[in-house]
Amino acid sequence: MGRPDKAARAAIARRRSDAIDLRLAGVDWLTIARKLAADPTVNSDGIAYPQGYGVERYRKNQDPPTNGALIHAACRDVRTALADRRAELNDDVDELRAMESDRLDRLFFVAYKKAVRDQDLAAIDRTLRIMERRARLLGLDMPVRAELSGPDGGPVQVESVTVDELDALIALTDPDGK
């Protein structure tokens, strides 16, 4: 089976978008799968969904996929669509980060010239703030190391507790039980 043509890819993208919308609406996996199934005998709307689940079997007049196979296909679609959206968002974030870096470079150049040429302390401070902002934006700073310690800097005591003890502690901190 080769790569789907442009129309089929668009229909698959639409199916994945519909699957996400249904899942966000709280629809269970089997209902999603049946709503987006290609075979009208399985499809909850009684229509052949374009590029729906089991479309190859439907075109070959084979039995429709099992409920398990339909659910698996719906889950895979949602996972794939969400991964694609995350990748798009990451690309957008990378573009914004590059644009912000360019802006900081321009501001830095102006402040740096004034700091060096005029030895202006305010310009030096501004230059340093721009450098700090760029380092945070690009992740150039070393991570801050945090260490948890007990009383007087000693070790933290870890004890095992029972579920009843945890419930009692929760009751103390949240008397309404919410």
132 φ, ψ to 5°? -65, -45
pTM: 0.52
**Rounded to whole angstroms, how far apart are CA atoms 145 and 158?**
21
Do 107 and 128 contact (CB within 8 A), yes or no?
A: no
The pLDDT, as a whole number, for residue 176 is 65
The three-state secondary structure class of 53 is: strand
Average pLDDT of the chain to the nearest whole number:
87
pLDDT at 174 over 60: yes
Do 73 and 65 contact (CB within 8 A), yes or no?
A: yes
Do 131 and 101 contact (CB within 8 A), yes or no?
A: no
